[in-house]
Amino acid sequence: MKRARTSRQSHGTRRAPASRVLAPPQLVTIEKPVYGGGFLARAEGKAIFTPLMLPSEQARVRITDDHHGWANAELEELVTAAPERIAPRCPHFGACGGCHYQHSDYTTQLVFKEAILRETLERAGVSAPAQIDVLAGQPWAYRNRIRLASDAAGNPGYRGRRSHAITPVRECLIAAPILVRAALASAEYFRSQPPPNRPAEISLFCDAEESALLVSLMVANLSKARVDDFACALSEQVPELAGVEFIAAGLAGRQPHTASRWGAESLVYRAAGCNYRVSHGAFFQVNRWLVDALAAQVTSGRKGVVAWDLFAGVGLFARQLAANFDRVVAVESAPEAISALEANLAGSAAAAVRATTLDFLARGRTAGPPDLIVVDPPRTGLGAETAALLSEIAAAALVYVSCDPATLARDLRTLFAGGYAIERVVLADLFPQTFHIESVVELRRT
């Protein structure tokens, strides 16, 4: 909230202390959703972004963060509700920052995301095709991984929507049930421990069938005896537990690292007809209902002599490509993923390369371009240098798997300048109930 400006005073007069003045609520009409979970309205030429709204709704909103030309607001009173508005299923919705669209039906959510993706591309000067295909599945209980923090009382929860404070949760309807069950059981165990011994964070990962579970905890007391005691207690309530690790926070510039471990370092995840080894902390697609469909979207029908899978993770795409290419190069630099990548590609036509994508592309190349390049970068996207190098390499086909439409649009401009054009765009809704947008863009040299 901005402080109210004091009125102009005569020279030499003491200025009265500034005080916070709450502006009265404003009546607005919502126009459309925007990326990030907000909904746009306009008042007196200013863009106002309010969460938990729907297009066409009228509401009284209170400004919480005022800037020149735009402001953030919170709903004070819903005057006219849209017909698409429904009652959220989760009791934590609104306070918890994890979900953004539970107040609308799923068909409406997909319409929002397609419109946001199209507008983001076109605002950046990227012409979207007339048709954006949609890949969607079951919108509940889809997450195979969650990460929670602990409040002062030892309750697990997510960061709040309005702040970084912890919102304790007893359920999470977008997560595989075993993850919440294990998180609550873990919290129950640690509440019997002194507060300094309780974890600051807990990360849980399961396979698609919920038959195996890995748990990672950020804790201060890191002895092997403590991890064994915790794992034995948790496995009594969650017999699917396969492995536990205690992680020490990085000190003096060091990265967090595993200090003690119980059980397995990884689990076997069955996806797209193959078994994948996935270790603690390694990246794997989060939507257990759509992993197979996403892998097929990226790799099916593609064949040739050489393919590159950049930002390969544990090799979901590389393993699939190996069935139809003579040679596949899978590039990955994350320590928690590379050993699993090597194991997952053993015996196939694919080989792992330990390198960052930028280093791999920048080093000298003697062979010609591959027939296909698949890129699945983090939210920050490729970046100008990597996108320029990809254009220079000039593979005949390139598939870009994106988790952020803004960085996707930025990178596509560079790829277009280097001779690529869009063949197809697919909205892959890996994150129902949230504003996050995953997409698959198929490109070909012109």
Q: What is the per-residue pLDDT for 303?
A: 97
Report the predicted TM-score, pTM, of the whole model to 2 decimal places.
Answer: 0.92
Distance CA 245, CA 166 (A): 23
Taking 50 as the pLDDT cut, the residues of the chain under it are 1-20
CA 287 to chain centre: 10
| HSE toward the beta carbon, residue 203, CA cutoff 13 A | 13
In 3D, which of 335, 382, 338, 337 has the Cα closest to residue 361?
382
Nearest to 35 by CA among 120, 110, 95: 120
Dist CA 349 CA 306 (whole Å): 10
217 C-beta neighbours (distance < 10 Å), count? 21
Q: What is the pLDDT of residue 5?
A: 33
CA dihedral 172, 175, 181, 187 (to 10 degrees): -70
pLDDT at residue 257 in the model: 83
pLDDT of residue 2: 37
* Residues in Cβ contact with 116 at an 8 Å cutoff, skipping those fewer than 6 apart: 33, 34, 35, 405, 435, 437
CB atoms within 10 A of CB 285: 23
Q: Name the one residue in this structure whose structure tokens are 């126009």.
A: 31
Structural domains of the chain in order of their starting residue, each with its CATH number:
26-85 (2.40.50.140), 110-139+287-445 (3.40.50.150), 145-268 (2.40.50.1070)
Strand order in the sheet with 26-29: 26-29, 58-67, 70-80, 46-51, 38-43, 32-33
